[in-house]
């Protein structure tokens, strides 16, 4: 079936799903397959649960007019998303970066939604499946779409740009994330800048952090851009006031106090402020949006448990985000500070070196006790009696002693699931 014909069927459906656990009535189900499963086997179940159509790519599962056979279900999902994006003609802002993508996306969304009907990536559905699903969730009412793009190797952002075809784009930063796939920090920069490459090649609009020398250098001669800076008068001036613990800043003589902790969130707040300013959102509305935003989903959350105050930043971790989180925690005006750190994944051959670097750093900071959890951290050399190492969360749990009257930082890669520490507290 051709994409235009499939799109007409899609418009008669309520939504799209790729998981039978999330099928709604009159839903369009895409039978995506993985390394260890054949999605076509779930097509009939999806129809029984109320799906209007099931898109399959194996003729053996063609059972009725409601099972639509295509050559490749994943490719069809992506092509349908691109077609739907063009059909709507909606403005698309895409963003990527090593750290802060999801927080920045959510901040941009709350700011722009003060004036526009927006649709943004849900959670971190930011890959070759998540981006199409985000585009297909947009409707005729959507005025601006905000699409997060993740990548763990080169050419991935370029591929996602061909699906979403963004009109605007922003890169949060370049850090030591997914080194296993990118190979080096230079590979990270090259991979993330595929977004800017797409935008400049197609004469689209670029948003930048003008205090980031890499971004400024790569886009110095490109005219269609806006940015923010604490130092460069050519761009929107935004000044950091404080970050102990919550970030506050000022722009255009207006102070704004956020509910985000850590100076590392300052640029995320700046990006949302600058993009709101570009789209003519009133400054008072930008202020209200930012001051009303509270982080969730284990991202820099402030949580109180009994006599303890916790910074829960356990959604993910890489060397760059771990370093700034630790430095921020060290600078906080708290008494008994305890850092509970979990392994950082997808570092490849750099894993041993990067985990040791974190241990070396944390040993120099104003943190009273450090708890390291994971096989990588277990292999590191420690030189302070205030540092304890555990092979796994289970090992830490078995040896856990009550923590009281303390400030804690909990941070690790998603696979470590360190939010489980809250159950002990």
Give the tens place of pLDDT for each residue, 161-186.
999 999 999 999 888 777 777 888 88
CATH number at residue 156: 3.40.1190.10
Residues 45 and 95 in one domain: no
Calculate Rg over the CA atoms of the chain.
Answer: 23
Does residue 297 surpass a pLDDT of 90? no
Helix/strand/coil percentages in the chain, nearest 5: 40, 20, 40
Split at pLDDT 50, 70, 90, the class of 225 is very high
Same domain, 306 and 282: no
Say yes or no: 387 and 287 in one domain. no
Considering the domain architecture, whether residues 108 and 198 belong to the same structural domain is answered as: yes
In sequence order, which residues have a C-beta less than 8 Å from that of residue 201 and are 6 or more positions away? none
Task: Please determine, for residue 368, whether its predicted confidence score (pLDDT) is greater than 90.
Answer: yes
Taking 80 as the threshold, does the pLDDT of residue 124 lie above it?
no
Percent of the chain residues topping a pLDDT of 90 = 81
Cis amide bond preceding 245, omega within 30: yes
333: in domain: yes
What pLDDT is attached to residue 390?
Answer: 97
E strand map for 290-405:
301-305, 308-313, 337-342, 369-373, 387-390
b/e sequence 284-294, b meaning 16+ C-beta within 10 Å: eebbebbeebe
Shared-domain flag, residues 254 and 281: yes
Average pLDDT value over all residues in the chain: 94
Reported as a single tens digit per residue, the pLDDT across 15-48 is 999 999 989 899 999 999 988 889 999 999 999 9
Parent domain of 152: 89-291
My answer on whether 144 and 263 are in the same domain is yes
Check whether residue 102 and residue 195 sit in a common domain.
Answer: yes
Q: Exposed, middle or buried: residue 357 (CB in 10 Å: 0-12, 13-18, 19+)?
A: middle
What CATH code is carried by the domain that includes residue 27? 3.40.1390.10
Looking at the domain assignment, is residue 83 inside a domain? Answer: no
Is 261 in the same domain as 384? no
What integer is the mean pLDDT of 396-407?
94
In a domain, 270, yes or no: yes
Q: Do 287 and 333 belong together in one domain?
A: no
- At residue 142, the pLDDT reads 98
Tell whether 171 and 262 lie within a shared domain: yes
pLDDT-derived band of residue 300, with 50, 70 and 90 as boundaries? confident
Residues 175 and 26 in one domain: no
User: How many domains does the structure of the chain reveal?
Assistant: 3
Cβ 158 vs Cβ 198: under 8 Å: yes
Q: Is residue 208 domain-shared with residue 168, that is, in the same domain?
A: yes
Q: What six digits make up the tokens of 109?
A: 């969304």
32 inside domain: yes
């Amino acid at each position: 079936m051709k994409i235009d014909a499939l799109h007409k069927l899609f418009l008669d459906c309520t939504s799209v799903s790729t998981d039978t656990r999330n099928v709604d009535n009159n839903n369009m189900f895409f039978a995506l397959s993985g390394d260890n499963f054949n999605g076509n086997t779930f097509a009939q179940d999806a129809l029984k649960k109320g799906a209007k159509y099931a898109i399959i790519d194996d003729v053996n599962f063609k059972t009725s007019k409601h099972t639509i056979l295509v050559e490749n279900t994943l490719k069809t999902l992506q092509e349908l998303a691109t077609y739907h994006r063009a059909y709507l003609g909606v403005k698309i802002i895409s963003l990527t970066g090593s750290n802060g993508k999801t927080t920045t996306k959510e901040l941009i969304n709350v700011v722009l939604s003060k004036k526009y009907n927006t649709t943004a990536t849900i959670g971190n559905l930011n890959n070759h499946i998540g981006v199409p699903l985000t585009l297909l969730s947009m409707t005729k009412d959507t005025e601006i779409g905000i699409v997060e793009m993740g990548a763990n190797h080169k050419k991935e952002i370029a591929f996602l740009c061909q699906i979403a075809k963004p009109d605007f784009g922003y890169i949060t930063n370049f850090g030591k994330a997914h080194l296993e796939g990118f190979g080096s920090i230079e590979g990270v920069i090259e991979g993330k800048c595929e977004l800017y490459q797409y935008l400049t090649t197609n004469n689209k609009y670029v948003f930048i952090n003008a205090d980031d020398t890499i971004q400024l250098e790569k886009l110095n001669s490109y005219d269609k851009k806006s940015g923010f800076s604490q130092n460069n008068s050519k761009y929107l001036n935004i000044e950091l006031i404080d970050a102990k613990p919550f970030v506050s800043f000022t722009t255009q003589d207006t102070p704004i106090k956020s509910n985000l902790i850590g100076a590392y969130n300052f640029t995320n707040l700046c990006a949302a402020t600058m993009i709101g300013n570009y789209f003519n959102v009133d400054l008072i509305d930008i202020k209200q949006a930012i001051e009303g935003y509270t982080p969730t989903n284990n991202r820099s959350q402030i949580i109180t448990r009994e006599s303890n105050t916790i910074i829960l930043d356990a959604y993910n971790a890489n060397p760059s985000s771990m370093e700034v989180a630790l430095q921020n925690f060290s600078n906080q005006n708290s008494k008994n500070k305890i850092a509970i750190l979990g392994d950082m994944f997808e570092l490849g051959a750099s894993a041993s070196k990067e985990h040791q670097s974190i241990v070396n750093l944390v040993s120099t900071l104003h943190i009273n006790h450090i708890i390291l959890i994971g096989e990588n951290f277990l292999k590191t050399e420690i030189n302070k009696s205030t540092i304890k190492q555990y092979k796994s969360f289970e090992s830490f749990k078995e040896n856990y002693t009550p923590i009281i009257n303390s400030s804690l930082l909990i941070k690790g890669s998603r696979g470590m699931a360190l939010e489980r520490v809250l159950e002990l507290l």
